[in-house]
Amino acid sequence: MSETEVLVLLGRIVVFFGLTITIAAVMTLAERKVSAWIQCRHGPNRVGPWGVLQPVADGIKFFFKEEVIPDNANRALFKIAPAMAAAPAMMTVAVVPFSFPILLDGTRYAMAIADIPIGVLFFLAMGSLAVYGVLIGGWASNSKYSLLGGLRSSAQMVSYELALILSVISVLILTGSMNLTSIFEAQIPAHGSGLAGIFKEGWLVLRFPVGTIAFGIFLIASFAETNRHPFDLAECETELVAGFHTEYSSMKFALFFIGEYSAMAMMSGLLVTFFLGGPSFFGLIQGVDSMWLRAVLGIAVFLAKMGFFLFLFIWVRWTLPRFRWDQLMSLGWKILLPISLANIALAGLLVALGVL
């Protein structure tokens, strides 16, 4: 490994990991602000100008809070569960390409921490691991509410993961790669291909019908995967107090939230990479000559697209009522699963016929 390689790797880890943690912190503020606006309130506005230091104040508060562990809890699992909930989401950062690749000393460096050929598989594996944090947290607390929340969440995540994976398969068929950098590069139309190029070679969400349907299924399933409204039956304040994290306090409680928000950030990042062409912006940024400017602009565009989905996550939470448990399961198994299976067949057919 040359010196440049190590430096680039360290740089990517620091920047992208820091970016994710920052997004998770900002999201705690954004959630409260947007929820306040939707309810005609101001939201937090006392700590710092416009309340921007609220996440810092929250963090300090969490660190100094007393840590309560229930008497009959399984202490070891109780302590490890928050980390197990937060770690998979943060591991996913490794494969998300935030920008266009750069060339240094003749070597091509993708703007993802680990530009592995099976990036999609890695993301799906990490998504499956996320179930354990919630399930173990719910079980180890030795509380009825937590247990029910953990059970619900595991059933829900397993069911929706199926639809999620099957919708990703049609993405793989359309782009022909499992590497996330290649996936977004496959969505950049050739220069000068015009409007037809955008619909045939552009963003997957515009490739009707296969890409659009896959996008819809992935979006719905990602809400369920991250335990967000309208599928947040794992928390479900009205029925289960706080679901799987009822018994948690202080920084452990906060860690569950950091995990949830980084999972949201990663889901948004993958939505952008899979369906909205990653850092590309209608072929405008590829035209930029300077490699560094292109990379920075790419990150900006990527974050803007990601921000839209993060906003959507919050927006939907404060708009829609929660699904009932059986409705959630029937939506997952009876509607999303058949549609995504049919979508794969359609994708294969259309690609074989050369339409897409």
Stretch that binds another protein, among 18-26, 110-118, 177-185, 316-324 (CB under 8 A): 316-324
Q: Quick one: which of 151, 198, 316, 351 contacts another protein (CB under 8 A)?
A: 316
**Which one, of 26, 17, 44, 18, lies nearest residue 314 by Cα?**
26
Amino acid making up residue 163: A
CB burial of residue 194 (10 Å; 0-12, 13-18, 19+)? exposed
Q: How far is the CB of 216 from another protein (least distance, A)?
A: 9
**Over the Cα atoms of the chain, what is R_g?**
21
Q: How far is the CB of 45 from another protein (least distance, A)?
A: 8
Q: How far is the CB of 61 from another protein (least distance, A)?
A: 21
Q: Which of residues 31-50 bind another protein (CB under 8 A)?
A: 34, 37-42
Q: How far is the CB of 319 from another protein (least distance, A)?
A: 4
Q: Give the Å distances, CA to CA, from 226 to 114, 141, 281, 342.
A: 23, 21, 27, 25
Q: How far is the CB of 42 from another protein (least distance, A)?
A: 5
**Total residues contacting another protein (rule CB under 8 A)?**
12
Q: Are 167 and 343 in contact (CB under 8 A)?
A: yes
Q: How far is the CB of 35 from another protein (least distance, A)?
A: 10
Tokens of 72: 């009959």
Q: Give the residue with the Cβ less far from another protein, 41 or 61.
A: 41
Q: Which of residues 226-255 bind another protein (CB under 8 A)?
A: none
Is the bond preceding residue 55 a cis peptide, omega within 30 degrees? Answer: no
Q: Are 317 and 37 in contact (CB under 8 A)?
A: no
Q: Does 324 bind another protein (CB under 8 A)?
A: no
Q: Give the residue with the Cβ less far from another protein, 43 or 279.
A: 43
The residues that bridge with 103 in the sheet, in sequence order, are 108
| Structural element, H or E, at residue 102 | strand 102-104
Stretch that binds another protein, among 102-110, 257-265, 295-303, 318-326 (CB under 8 A): 318-326
Which residues are at the interface with another protein (CB under 8 A)? 34, 37-42, 315-316, 318-320
